[in-house]
Amino acid sequence: MIVRDLNQARQTERHVFSKGWDSVRLLLKSDKMGFSFHITTIHAGAELPMHYKHHFECVYCIEGVGSIEDGAPGEIHRIGPGTMYALDQNDRHILRADPGAPMVMACVFNPPVTGSEVHQDDGSYALESESA
Ligand code: 9YT
């Protein structure tokens, strides 16, 4: 069994920072679960174009409000506590946090991320073999 504490993990290299977001990777590829699990904070007012070409991602909003644009341009869905979205088509998307407060999200990636991935210029995360 693996037991980890979010606040302890924040003090380690599991806490990854990028422009407009930071993420605590509670489970990584090295944990051999077949997925990774992250608690991600989207900073207030951030606008994040993303395109996970090599990963499926599921995101559950715990706190905060914002929107997700499905495609670019595409349909816009409001996101708040209790909303889940799943990028089952490797969908290009833009996540926007409303100004005033951050969004806190629980995220699962398949295949799992390995540790310190941040977005490449095309909005994707590299597969391990590509980034090696
Ligand atoms: C919600 C989202 O996709 N945020 C970007 C960061 C990502 N969740 C991560 O690497 O933890």
State how far the Cα of 94 lies from the Cα of 26, in Å rounded to an integer: 24
Query: Residue 6: enclosing H or E segment and its boundaries?
Result: helix 6-9
Instruction: Calculate the CA dihedral of residues 87, 91, 93, 95 and round it to 10 degrees.
Output: 10
3-state secondary structure of 123: coil
Q: Any idea which residue has 């995220």 for tokens?
A: 107
pLDDT of residue 27: 97
Atom of ligand 1 lying closest to residue 113 CA = 10
| Whether residue 95 has its Cβ less than 6 Å from ligand 1 | yes
CA 97 to ligand 1 centroid distance, Å: 13
CA 66 to ligand 1 centroid distance, Å: 14
| Whether residue 40 has its Cβ less than 6 Å from ligand 1 | yes
Atom of ligand 1 lying closest to residue 107 CA = 8
pLDDT of residue 130: 52
Strand partners, 99: none
pLDDT of residue 119: 76
| Whether residue 23 has its Cβ less than 6 Å from ligand 1 | yes
Low-confidence ranges of the chain (pLDDT < 70): 128-132
Q: What is the DSSP string of 74-108?
A: EEEEEE-TT-EEEETT--EEEEEEPTTS-EEEEEE
Per residue in 51-69, pLDDT tens? Answer: 988 899 999 999 999 999 9
pLDDT of residue 72: 75
pLDDT of residue 131: 45
pTM for this one? Answer: 0.90
Strand partners, 87: 57
pLDDT of residue 132: 40
pLDDT of residue 97: 98
